[in-house]
Structure 1
């Protein structure tokens, strides 16, 4: 048995000490299924569909990337948790990886669209279909993608939340396990209004089905439910979920293949007064062996997840923060393989990423401005131009943007905010060019 296999086995047997006294909700962790690849009625609906993603577009540093996002934890807290300490020996620990703002939802949106568009809360928003996302970049090169959301009730679900029986404590009231604020993809109309794309907004039962059928896509975004991601519980609770779900998959070649990169990260830190640095770990067989157990102090952010896939597959760019070199460095081991030159940001010039309610944008009522055109002259880490969707007003550059308007002061809200009680995807009216607010 190799040293690596022994380490993975040891991790599987490690017990995590759950400090439930500190939890927002005093729950006892329980596995929602017999294993990460076993479908469960605790996830409401069983999967009878599978993707057909058998074509592989070779990457320059990896052929598959799986992002796993946890919630609201300071770097030091995660780094001192036994399971996280142990699993860090299997990858590269990024010690200067930063979330972008607070609260949760803006970070998820930014990782998909290259901007959080002024959002500073977790309300129900939608982004017009002329705004590009990382999905557009991937599809332009034929790279397959999907997101897998734990406790989302069915494929393509658009709702704000979903409440299900408490599988850990059946005698307790049902629990709201799924939250749309942790699922950035359906917030974009270009995805949510396209049936072929909504079929790729998938459940954990779908994940099990896709693995067993050998049809996992190349770009994957995974969100555990709101207790397993540490949002309503503790980091030790999340560690037990990782021991159940992630650690076995590290040893499964159907998931962690020869050229697979697994990125474990957090949406934001817990202490808003501090810099928004979050524990982030590059795992998987795509990580060079000599770098496992090392650290990387390069400045990264959630925008780096976009620029890294741009560099890896030579994608076009969004022309937003993914092309801002200060905040979109490519993961160093990928930059080395692709020839990308990262920017070394002096410590006294590192932006503060713990902003709340200060940025202007179309997704804030306090400082509302329209959606700006991307920077069409930008060149991203893939070395190519900016990808545009039909209907974008290229004249509406940041320099020509009207002054921000405080809609909240006149009891109005941004037109891109919806009521979670009444919304359905059919109620979203697509905009076209200048008709977009």
Structure 2
């Protein structure tokens, strides 16, 4: 009996040691993943991202450093981070961020699909493209999402329709998104210029101050606020009003959140890869007073999301080959 007890005691000690080693190994694996920033090929700079799309202005129409009139956008970019130091809408050294197509809709499709899929003009709608898109990747990984458009009708349904239809809301072009559960994430928000209901993108800001905001949030402003049908100073004033509310929201004060503001395209006289546009990052996980040196395009937006959340890329030679914008993060 004494010998049996000794062996039983030794066996218990051995099992306990194995458990300790197993737990320690699992801890090592978990802590090797970066909580923020990039370590080697591992990169997870943010947990939340808010994306705002502006319209039809080149880099030097916005940045006052080369003749633009976007005083607030320039200040924001200089306080946080901007892609490239451009001397004109077609020349950017170093780096820069270029649009892909003219007119708007092919760019919006590429931003969420990795290609324009043969669509070369505005006016296409809806649910026509039978290809994987960003929403597939978000849902496959369990990343929560919301996509807002100012002044849209049919909020939360598959009848959702922004004022510019799919021209400025590429999600509507993909067949996979024509599904009741997904459509609950297509949401309207009230523009500041609307006389109806609460103003200042109230619904959008409510989510940013909620206890459980989506990890991926998109906002398409209307054609006044985004600069499509107005001067740069109008869109700049809109962002001057909205962005401080975003950066001071509960989400941005308590979480690892990033704000990405980008224009869809510049003047039609400039073409890819020399259609340089304003693309700025801001928020608590973003470097301050930083000018990016890498070369980027709308495909880099997808590549950044793919890098951050470990998504498979969508389209060979497009987002699959694009540089992720990791240099902008702490």
Aligned length: 260
1:239 to 236, 242, 254: 236
Task: With the length of structure 1 as denominator, give the TM-score of the two structures.
Answer: 0.55
- Match status 1:72 vs 2:66: no
What is the distance in 2 between the residues matched to 1:213 and 1:294?
A: 30
Partner of 1:332: 326
2:182 to 182, 193, 197: 197
Partner of 2:276: 277
- Deviation string, structure 1 residues 13-52 (Cα, Å, up to 9, x no partner): xxxxxxxxxxxxxxxxxxxxxxxxxxxxxxxxxxxxxxxx
**Which secondary structure state, in structure 2, belongs to the residue aligned with residue 245 of structure 1?**
helix
What is the distance in 1 between the residues matched to 2:227 and 2:44?
A: 34
Query: What does 1:149-160 align with in structure 2 at a 5 Å threshold?
Result: 149-156=149-156
**Alpha-carbon distance, 1:201 to partner:** 0.7
Partner of 2:193: none
**Which secondary structure state, in structure 2, belongs to the residue aligned with residue 228 of structure 1?**
coil
**Which secondary structure state, in structure 2, belongs to the residue aligned with residue 254 of structure 1?**
helix
Structure with the higher strand share, 1 or 2: 2
Partner of 1:420: none
**Alpha-carbon distance, 1:212 to partner:** 4.1
**Which secondary structure state, in structure 1, belongs to the residue aligned with residue 250 of structure 2?**
coil
Query: What does 1:7-406 align with in structure 2 at a 5 Å threshold?
Result: 60-80=44-64, 81-95=70-84, 96-128=96-128, 130-156=130-156, 177-191=163-177, 193-204=178-189, 205-255=202-252, 257-273=254-270, 275-287=274-286, 291-325=287-321, 328-333=322-327
Task: With the length of structure 2 as denominator, give the TM-score of the two structures.
Answer: 0.72
Q: Aligned pair in 2 of structure 1 residues 269, 311: CA closer, same or farther (>3 Å)?
A: same
**Which secondary structure state, in structure 2, belongs to the residue aligned with residue 207 of structure 1?**
helix
Partner of 1:350: none
Structure 2 residues not aligned, in runs of 5+: 1-34, 37-42, 65-69, 85-95, 190-201
Larger radius of gyration: 2
What is the distance in 1 between the residues matched to 2:128 and 2:160?
A: 18
What is the distance in 1 between the residues matched to 2:48 and 2:160?
A: 29
On the 8 A contact 2:155/2:187 being kept in 1, the answer is yes
User: Higher RCO, 1 or 2 (CA under 8 Å, sep at least 6)?
Assistant: 2
- Deviation string, structure 1 residues 128-172 (Cα, Å, up to 9, x no partner): 57410111111111111111111112314666966xxxxxxxxxx
On the 8 A contact 1:185/1:201 being kept in 2, the answer is no
Structure with the higher helix share, 1 or 2: 2
Structure 1 residues not aligned, in runs of 5+: 1-56, 163-176, 338-437
On the 8 A contact 2:49/2:216 being kept in 1, the answer is yes
What is the distance in 2 between the residues matched to 1:316 and 1:98?
A: 23
